[in-house]
Amino acid sequence: YQDPVATMLNAVLVTNDDGPDSPLALPFIEALSSTLSPRELRIVLPDTEQSWISQAVSRFRPIETRERRFGRHPGYVASGTPADCSSLGIHNLYGSPPDVVFSGVNLGVNAGLAFFLSSGTVGGASEAMLARIRAAAFSAEVPSHIFRTWRSGDMDELKRYTNRFRALASAAARVAKHLVDHDAWRFASLFSVNLPWNVNDQTVLRITSLAETYFGPLFTSIGENLYQHRHEGLIVQSPEVAAAADEGEHEPREPFSVRVATEAPWDREWSLSSSFPQDLRVVAEGCISLTPITYTVSTPFSAAGVSELETFPAADENSE
């Protein structure tokens, strides 16, 4: 299959949630430019890191945009969220909407339901989808010591891994081209791509589903009435996925302790099970995970079962 879009790619918009200083920002921009060869590569990145912000939109404050060069590519940084950047790039900063929006490459995987719903990288892609634009989010597995180096701001130390970041960006761009060439959006609303740290030209790509994951505490007390964000690991519903994700060789997020839940969080008559392997396990096995995400206004669950909720009782006329 060859989609006509692939032969007339006028404009590609790039955003992320790690900001312009991410060691994956410029490599991804350059890899997309050389791999996709769009007539115009547009760039709108948040001016500071905006991780864990999901699809938040800045309603109550103005957003400042500034022109900035990313290597040889002109673009913008904005004092907003990834979703803000996506919307500004689609509707405000350029004369026409892009053909496709690619968000990433994120430092750290966004595999599993919990990270997926919390990710600013995914939020940038989701905002594009809501603007009726094809979109995909890209995230990369990062070993814990490199993630700590990024958090500390030691950019000189990160330069030691320049070739690895370029390899990740190149793989992400090849997946982006694969999606465009096959007009993959015929099959899903958007895509979430997660790359293993040691990805190379021979790494296998597998279609996946979101692993069923949840969060424990996200904050810790640092004083009276004061709390600081501190992620303490995932709760994984699948023991098989938990075992694979907790292997020492693969640490998709720092910290990434895993607690296995043997029971569902509440009694339910539905499941997140799928015929496709779960994304966390596929990344832990060293493969590229491509997760199609489809949003629908209809429910996939049992109509017969959920219809009992229509037996909503009328209020008692004598009640207060």
Q: What pLDDT does 136 receive?
A: 98
The rounded distance, in Å, linking the Cα atoms of 119 and 106 is 9
Q: What pLDDT does 270 receive?
A: 60
In a domain, 125, yes or no: yes
Counting as low any pLDDT under 50, the low residues of the chain are: 1, 248-255
In a domain, 301, yes or no: no
CB 227 within 8 A of CB 249: no
In a domain, 47, yes or no: yes
What is the domain extent for residue 77?
A: 4-207
Give me the number of domains the chain comprises: 1
Q: What pLDDT does 252 receive?
A: 44
In a domain, 88, yes or no: yes
In a domain, 214, yes or no: no
The rounded distance, in Å, linking the Cα atoms of 170 and 200 is 9
The CATH number that applies at residue 38 is 3.40.1210.10
Burial of 207 (0-12, 13-18, 19+ CB in 10 A): middle
Q: Which residues have C-beta within 8 Å of that of residue 96, sequence separation ≥ 6?
A: 10, 11
Q: What pLDDT does 253 receive?
A: 45
Predicted TM-score of the model (pTM): 0.88
In a domain, 251, yes or no: no
Q: Where are the beta strands (DSSP E) in the chain?
A: 11-15, 40-46, 65-70, 73-78, 100-107, 134-140, 190-195, 205-207, 213-215, 219-223, 226-229, 234-236, 258-260, 288-293
